[in-house]
């Protein structure tokens, strides 16, 4: 969800940045039509939520699972419609031109960006408010003990409370929206302030240097922001914390703290954030801690610190930066290649919408294909490290080899994650292979150590390619200057 939102937010800002200069006719009518169009996706979300609640209330457990799967598919389609509607409002309806060239807000930092994002974020928040009805029904059923799905004794003893609508929307905003906006706002605010205070600086070729300090602050401080957005607290002292700290120390992996990620038992997952060891956190969700045994927790923890061990956070950043360097290389080789490009076939869409859609489409294809492929290789390597951590736990093995015990422990944790999150073993995402595929790979490696060697070799090759592209994009423009 976060990467989809990142692409949508960047696309909306790009449409505003490339809006044709000059005021647009009938601005009040355009504003009224835009506001009316913003209500269409939330209305569809409300109808979808009500229909799903009616199906859940009328059916048995099997019918309920079918209704929830259908709800997930239709919710994805509604999200696509929401983003298409936002693009139509910004482009053909002229919202971007009204915001940039009609409203007198150019001297107020961040206000124009906030209004540019309104056609996207306003309907998104209202849609979450509509989807609350489904979450409330599911939580009430679990609290009342009517859920037919198998639950552990601890889960039955601590059923989740029913949220208010405001709490549900706030949780969705913290989990999804703030992850996108928190790193972006300081950069945009710095740019706006400098454009007002020192326009000559921002007009020069070295303007990007002014954004390096806030960018560095965002990169270093993002784990601290994430800790507060997720309302995370340090894992209490006890056997589990001691066990995880000893595991990290055994491998020389430094983290600032191990945090309990407060999700109101909605999420069974873990995460790691932080390039700098002194600002690096490992997050373990409350539901994960509740349902997993100490050995399974250590295996999941091993997966997360595996990302640290193999420098996946840095590699992800390099893979994301590589296309920018590639564009620099294209510009050096073909400086006039895209000047004035405006195919007549798409003229009815308008240059604003076309520019924004092009940005979103190209970035989306790269993220889904290239970044997704690299992420799946990184996850596979982290899985192997999780198995290795499990292999060394309780004296079950040595640091030199994976053991059947370690693989079984980590595979068991993967299977439990799928069950507790309601994920099919065969379902895959663009960043993760399916649970079935991951388990098959680990079981193969347990009998064929060369599979692990090949995995490490693939990741090294991907990292080397990313570094080579970035280095070429930085050096060649200077040499051809």
SS3 150: coil
Q: Is residue 451 part of a domain?
A: yes
Q: Is residue 452 part of a domain?
A: yes
- Mean pLDDT rounded to a whole number for the chain: 83
Predicted pLDDT of residue 67: 85
pLDDT greater than 90 at residue 282: yes
Determine the Cα–Cα distance for residues 24 and 112; give it in Å rounded to an integer. Answer: 16
DSSP for 115-146, please give it: HHHHHHHHHHHHHHHHHHHHHHHHHHHHHTT-
Determine the Cα–Cα distance for residues 266 and 422; give it in Å rounded to an integer. Answer: 11
Tokens coding 385: 């490290």
Domain boundary at 150, 166, 199, which? 199
pLDDT tens digits along 109-126: 888 889 999 999 999 999
151 CB-near residues (< 8 Å, 6+ apart): none
Predicted pLDDT of residue 160: 60
pLDDT greater than 60 at residue 147: no
Read off the pLDDT of each residue in 145-167 and give the average, rounded to a whole number.
Answer: 59
Tell me the CA distances in angstroms from 228 to 6, 25, 166, 235, 259, one per residue in order: 20, 44, 18, 15, 11
Q: Is residue 214 part of a domain?
A: no
Q: What is the residue range of 54's domain?
A: 1-199
State whether 317 and 190 are in the same domain.
Answer: no
CB 217 within 8 A of CB 186: yes
Q: Is residue 233 part of a domain?
A: no
State whether 23 and 155 are in the same domain.
Answer: yes
Q: Is residue 89 part of a domain?
A: yes
Predicted pLDDT of residue 393: 63
Tokens coding 191: 């740019």
What phi and psi, each to the nearest 5 degrees, are found at residue 159? Answer: -65, 145
Domain boundary at 199, 229, 260, which? 199
Domain boundary at 179, 199, 219, which? 199
Global pTM value: 0.80
Q: Per-residue confidence at 15, pLDDT binned at 50, 70, 90?
A: confident
Read off the pLDDT of each residue in 275-299 and give the average, rounded to a whole number.
Answer: 91
Neighbour count for residue 76 (Cβ, 10 Å): 11
- The lowest-confidence range among 45-54, 143-152, 159-168, 255-264 is 143-152
- For residue 268, give the DSSP letter: -
pLDDT greater than 80 at residue 248: yes
Q: Is residue 270 part of a domain?
A: no
State whether 40 and 161 are in the same domain.
Answer: yes
173-206 burial, b if ≥16 CB within 10 A, otherwise e?
Answer: bbbebbbbbbbbbbebebbbebbeeeeeebeeee
Q: Is residue 290 part of a domain?
A: no
State whether 180 and 328 are in the same domain.
Answer: no
Which stretches within 284-403 are classed as H helix?
A: 286-291, 294-309, 312-333, 351-366, 372-392
Read off the pLDDT of each residue in 306-329 and give the average, rounded to a whole number.
Answer: 86
Virtual torsion, Cα 367, 371, 375, 381, nearest 10 deg: 170
pLDDT greater than 80 at residue 352: no
Max mean pLDDT among 233-247, 269-283, 352-366, 399-413 falls in: 233-247
Number of domains in the chain: 2
Q: Per-residue confidence at 204, pLDDT binned at 50, 70, 90?
A: low
Q: Per-residue confidence at 357, pLDDT binned at 50, 70, 90?
A: low
87 CB-near residues (< 8 Å, 6+ apart): 11, 12, 15, 353, 356, 357, 360
Q: Is residue 205 part of a domain?
A: no
Q: Per-residue confidence at 355, pLDDT binned at 50, 70, 90?
A: low
- The lowest-confidence range among 25-39, 197-211, 340-354, 373-387 is 340-354
Predicted pLDDT of residue 206: 66
């Amino acid at each position: 969800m976060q990467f989809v939102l990142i692409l949508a937010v960047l696309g909306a800002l790009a449409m505003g940045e490339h809006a044709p200069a000059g005021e647009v006719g009938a601005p009040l009518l355009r504003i009224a039509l835009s506001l009316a169009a913003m209500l269409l996706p939330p209305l569809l979300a409300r109808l979808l939520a009500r229909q799903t609640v009616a199906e859940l209330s009328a059916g048995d457990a099997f019918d309920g699972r079918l209704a929830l799967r259908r709800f997930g598919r239709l919710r994805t389609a509604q999200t696509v419609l929401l983003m298409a509607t936002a693009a139509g409002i910004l482009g053909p309806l002229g919202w971007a031109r009204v915001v940039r060239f009609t409203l007198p807000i150019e001297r107020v930092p961040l206000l124009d960006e906030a209004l540019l994002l309104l056609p996207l974020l306003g309907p998104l928040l209202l849609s979450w408010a509509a989807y609350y009805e489904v979450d409330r029904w599911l939580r009430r059923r679990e609290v009342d003990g009517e859920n037919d799905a198998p639950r552990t004794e601890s889960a039955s003893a601590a059923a989740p409370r029913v949220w208010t609508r405001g709490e549900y929307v706030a949780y969705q905003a913290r989990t999804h929206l703030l992850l996108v906006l928190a790193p972006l706002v300081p950069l945009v605010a710095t740019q706006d302030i400098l454009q007002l205070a020192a326009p000559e600086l921002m007009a020069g070729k070295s303007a990007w240097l002014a954004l390096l300090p806030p960018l560095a602050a965002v990169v270093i401080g993002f784990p601290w922001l994430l800790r507060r957005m997720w309302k995370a607290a340090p894992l209490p002292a006890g056997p589990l914390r001691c066990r995880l700290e000893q595991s990290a120390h055994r491998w020389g992996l430094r983290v600032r703290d191990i945090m309990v990620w407060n999700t109101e038992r909605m999420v069974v997952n873990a995460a790691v954030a932080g390039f700098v060891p002194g600002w690096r956190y490992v997050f373990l969700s409350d539901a994960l801690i509740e349902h997993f045994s100490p050995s399974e927790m250590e295996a999941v923890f091993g997966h997360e610190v595996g990302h640290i061990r193999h420098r996946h956070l840095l590699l992800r950043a390099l893979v994301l930066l590589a296309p920018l360097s590639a564009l620099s290389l294209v510009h050096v080789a073909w400086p006039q290649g895209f000047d004035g490009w405006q195919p007549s076939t798409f003229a009815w869409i308008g240059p604003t919408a076309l520019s924004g859609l092009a940005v979103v489409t190209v970035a989306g294809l790269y993220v889904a294909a290239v970044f997704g492929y690299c992420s799946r290789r990184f996850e596979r390597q982290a899985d192997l490290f999780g198995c290795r951590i499990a292999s060394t736990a309780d004296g079950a093995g040595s640091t030199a080899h994976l053991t059947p015990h370690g693989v079984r422990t980590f595979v068991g944790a993967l299977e439990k994650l799928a069950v507790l999150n309601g994920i099919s073993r065969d379902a895959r995402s663009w960043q993760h292979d399916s649970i079935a595929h991951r388990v098959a790979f680990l079981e193969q490696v347990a009998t064929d150590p060369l599979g692990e060697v090949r995995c490490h070799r693939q990741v090294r090759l991907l990292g080397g390619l990313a570094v080579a592209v970035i280095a070429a994009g930085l050096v060649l423009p200077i040499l051809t200057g």
